[in-house]
């Protein structure tokens, strides 16, 4: 497992996740709150996500919350040279695939493999429950993964939710040690944090199956408010929101908004893509693990040229022996095509993540994280500052600035399209 490097910071008095919050690196996983022996940490709804608020009088300064925090950075990898293997992780096999069940495939973001696999594992009593995220609107409370063995709840938890989800219930369940078998569906930072907790507490992984999701930026809850404010009428309120649906234009899917008047709106996917730079978490700027290296099996959208589908396909990477045994056993559920992991890497533009390592170096220098000198590129410094300025707009919900910038980007896109057309003529 890649581990965090020792951290030195200008606020050395902080021995808890206050440091994570001050450095704007929180992913709202709630691990800190779940494991605090003194109940000194509450989660506060601020800047579009839930951030740890530490009661200094209760805090024992044990440092455990900071030790297990998946948000705090930078990584030890900052010292090392990176290669393709750094970003790929272990692979015992890789595929493009989709579920043979048309309803599951239709209801899912891509190929429906995660949902189909969970349902069969639960039906066959190989696992007692799955921790999944059932989220369709923001209600002012943390969005927590929930353990369920109800098929309808598993089906309702399909589709992508790009919000800062909490693994609080996972940690609390593992603390009980009930000896049941669980499937955990999570992002790279979620699975990292859970595995750090397991390692720290000498908990066996034999009863756990980690199904990892490819992840290219988590978005704060303010993006849902933005969609509501932009597309509802004055007397309407949002009742349900889907980040991606294949209903109208197929994969990769548009956004879908339900309001209390009964109206349902489909919003072109380009809008969500344009908004990512404003509503992504600051921590995502430094992420090097898009393909979920620590999972037993990793799943994501299939973007390999010539292999995508209107109805959605998944790219799959088998990581561990346990993952291979499960996937091979239930492979009859899927239409499979073996591909090289390099094709998945290329289609997901993984090597573009190298720039995040450069951002990480700038971050390290600006926050006095390392006692050594790190070279930095002035252009990278400027680009990082620009990206963080945009993120600041999203955190503070400066909607007018965001709308103006989105409008400007649309005009530029149209002008470039016209220019290319005229060049061809």
**Contact assessment for residue 16 and residue 54, using Cβ atoms and an 8 Å cutoff:** yes
**Contact assessment for residue 64 and residue 52, using Cβ atoms and an 8 Å cutoff:** no
Give the whole-angstrom CA distance, residue 309 versus residue 305: 10
The pLDDT assigned to 418 comes to 81
Q: Determine how β-strand 146-148 pairs with β-strand 129-132.
A: antiparallel
Name the nearest CA neighbour of 296 among 231, 353, 213, 219: 213
Longest dimension (CA), the chain: 72
Angle between helices 222-231 and 399-424 (to 10 degrees): 70
Helix segments in 12-131, DSSP class H:
18-22, 31-35, 64-68, 84-88, 102-107, 113-123
Pick the CATH number of 85-219+284-351 from 3.40.640, 3.40.50, 2.40.160, 2.60.40: 3.40.640
Half-sphere exposure of 321 (CA within 13 A, CB side): 2
Which phi-psi region, left, alpha or beta, contains residue 312 (left: φ > 0; alpha: ψ -120 to 50)? left
Provide the 10 A C-beta neighbour count for residue 135.
Answer: 21
**Contact assessment for residue 209 and residue 326, using Cβ atoms and an 8 Å cutoff:** yes
Give the whole-angstrom CA distance, residue 195 versus residue 204: 10
Domain boundaries, the chain: 85-219+284-351, 222-279
Mind giving me the DSSP string for 271-299? HHHHHHHHHB-GGGGG---TT-TTSSEEE
DSSP strands (E only) in 90-207: 93-99, 129-132, 143-144, 146-148, 165-166, 182-186
Per residue of the chain (425 residues), give pLDDT as tens.
434 344 444 444 468 999 999 999 999 999 999 999 999 999 999 999 999 999 999 999 999 999 999 998 555 555 556 666 667 889 999 999 999 999 999 999 999 999 999 999 999 999 999 999 999 999 999 999 999 999 999 999 999 999 999 999 999 999 998 989 999 999 999 999 999 999 999 999 999 999 999 999 999 999 999 999 999 999 999 999 999 999 999 999 999 999 999 999 999 999 999 999 999 999 999 998 999 999 999 999 999 999 999 999 999 999 999 999 999 999 999 999 999 999 999 999 998 888 998 898 888 888 777 655 666 678 999 999 999 999 999 999 999 999 999 988 888 877 877 877 777 65
Give this prediction's pTM.
0.92
Provide the 10 A C-beta neighbour count for residue 45.
Answer: 14
């Amino acid at each position: 497992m890649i581990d965090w490097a020792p951290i030195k910071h200008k606020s050395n008095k902080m021995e808890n996740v206050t440091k994570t919050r001050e450095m704007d690196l929180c992913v709202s996983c709630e691990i800190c709150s779940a494991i605090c022996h003194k109940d000194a940490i509450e989660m506060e709804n601020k800047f579009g996500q839930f951030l740890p608020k530490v009661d200094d009088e209760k805090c024992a300064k044990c440092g455990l919350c900071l030790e297990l925090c998946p948000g705090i950075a930078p990584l030890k990898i900052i010292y090392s040279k990176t290669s393709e293997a750094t970003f790929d992780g272990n692979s015992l096999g890789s595929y493009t695939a989709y579920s043979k069940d048309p309803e599951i495939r239709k209801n899912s973001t891509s190929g429906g493999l995660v949902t189909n696999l969970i349902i069969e594992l639960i039906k066959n009593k190989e696992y007692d429950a799955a921790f999944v995220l059932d989220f369709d609107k923001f209600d002012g409370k943390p969005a927590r993964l929930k353990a369920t063995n109800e098929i309808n709840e598993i089906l309702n938890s399909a589709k992508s939710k790009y919000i800062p989800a909490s693994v609080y219930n996972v940690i609390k369940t593992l603390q009980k040690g009930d000896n049941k078998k669980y499937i955990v569906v999570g992002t790279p930072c979620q699975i990292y944090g859970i595995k750090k907790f397991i390692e720290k507490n000498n908990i066996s992984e034999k009863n756990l199956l980690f199904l990892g999701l490819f992840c290219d930026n988590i978005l704060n809850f303010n993006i849902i408010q933005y969609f509501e404010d932009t597309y509802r009428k004055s007397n309407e309120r949002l009742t349900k929101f889907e980040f991606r649906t294949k209903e109208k234009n197929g994969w990769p899917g548009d956004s879908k908004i339900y309001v209390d008047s009964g109206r349902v709106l489909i919003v072109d996917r380009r809008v969500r893509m344009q908004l990512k730079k404003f509503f992504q978490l600051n921590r995502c700027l430094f992420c090097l693990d898009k393909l979920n290296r620590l999972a037993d099996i990793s799943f994501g959208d299939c973007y390999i040229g010539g292999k995508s589908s209107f109805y959605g396909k998944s790219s799959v990477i088998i990581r561990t022996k346990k993952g291979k045994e499960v996937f091979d056993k239930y492979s009859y559920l899927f239409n499979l095509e073996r591909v090289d992991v390099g094709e998945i890497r290329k289609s997901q533009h993984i090597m573009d993540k190298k720039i995040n390592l450069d951002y990480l170096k700038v971050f390290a220098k600006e926050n006095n994280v390392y006692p050594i000198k790190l070279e930095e590129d002035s252009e990278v410094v400027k680009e990082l500052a620009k990206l963080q300025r945009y993120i600041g707009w999203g955190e503070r919900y400066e909607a007018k600035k965001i709308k103006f910038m989105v409008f400007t980007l649309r005009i530029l896109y149209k002008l470039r399209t016209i220019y290319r057309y005229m060049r061809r003529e």
